[in-house]
Amino acid sequence: MQRIYTEYAAGKGLYAIAEGLTGDGILSPSAYDRDRNPHRCGLAWSKAAVRVILTKPRYTGHQVWNKQRRDEVLIDVDDVALGHQTRMRWNDPDAWICSDRPVHPPLIDGTAFQTVQELLAAAGRRAVDRKPRRTAREYALTGLMFCGVCRRRMQGSWNNGKPHYRCVFPDQYALANKIEHPRSLYVREELVLPPLDAWLAGAFDPRRLPDTLRAMTAGQDLDHHADQVATQAVEKARAQIAEADAKLARYRAALESGTDPALIAAWTAEITAAKATAQARLRAAGGGRQRMTEDEIATLVAAAGSILDVLRHADGRDKGEVYRRLGLTLTYYADPKHVIAEARPSAIMYETKCPRGISTRAT
């Protein structure tokens, strides 16, 4: 902790600090506590993790309140019957409330913390001279392309007037984690889309529909983890609904005993919104994940077939929406150069070659 503050105050950048911590074998927060960070790779320190540590006033020993607030927002503005869900929003730092005296042993001196905050604020005010982009940059596979080495999402990168996807992995990160990862991996979008669209069109071709239906029906058994996650989601939603009903009953009893009606109304509104959110999640889960019949999947395939018609004349953003609706994920392997595409549920696989030696295998 003190090292991060000392190095930043001495002029070291966030990226350089993150590289140094990773290179010295110091576990990142997500690696240290995997139970609370299952959604993060935990391979190395990131700039974001360093910045969070540099901006937390709790490290000075003081407790801080009112950093966030709960806002009730509609789950779907086009279907208000689904109710509301609670979203946490950040309050302006001026609205934060800090304790007058320390409530636990400080990890960082208050003067050092204030110095770092001033440096961060000054860095945010630096003028950046950037030329405006001539055209909007579209990436059809945003959020869908993953690196086959480190399993992280690849970033969109515009090179030579064309969209690419890259994974930049500093040498120190790879050394610390014993990963043989090139410093930079690139894949050009135009080499992936044609064979990808050809596979999607072929899989839903009327002549192949019987095989596709059988494969999709059988493929439902392949993802046991998804079954477990869905079951847990259903159980959690039901528990939240039961808890909300119990609280509403207590609120009614409190109202009858003479508790301030305005206070009860505020409590009731909050718990009713939470209940509506849980009910929506339960409906989305279907009361439990069940295997679809072949007829149900046939209906799904027919709908997907109409969606695929969009691909013929769609621009990048429209294609990206189609890919996401089909549950598509792609993984790029640099050696040998190929991309594995998966659309769930399905168990169809074939491989085609595209120019420059990159193959696209679809599952």
SS3 at position 165: strand
Which is it for strands 184-188 and 162-168: parallel, antiparallel or unpaired?
antiparallel
Instruction: Give me the residues of the chain with pLDDT under 50, please.
Output: 222, 287-289, 345-363
Is-contact 189 314, C-beta < 8 A?
Answer: no
pLDDT recorded at residue 166? 93
pLDDT single digits (tens) 229-253: 567 777 888 888 888 888 888 888 8
Q: Which residues pair with 199 in a beta bridge?
A: none
Q: How far apart are CA 118 and CA 114, in angstroms?
A: 6
Residue 219 CB partners (closer than 8 Å, separation 6+): 344, 345, 346, 347
Residue 100 CB partners (closer than 8 Å, separation 6+): none
**Rg of the chain on CA atoms, in Å:** 26
pLDDT recorded at residue 165? 94
- Spans of all domains in the chain: 2-63+99-124, 145-217+297-362, 224-285
Residue that has been written with the tokens 């009112």 in this structure: 66
Is-contact 58 64, C-beta < 8 A?
Answer: yes
pLDDT recorded at residue 109? 86
Largest separation between any pair of C-alpha atoms in the chain: 78
Q: 130-155 burial, b for 16+ CB within 10 Å, e for fewer?
A: eeeeeeeebbbbbebbbbbbbeebbe
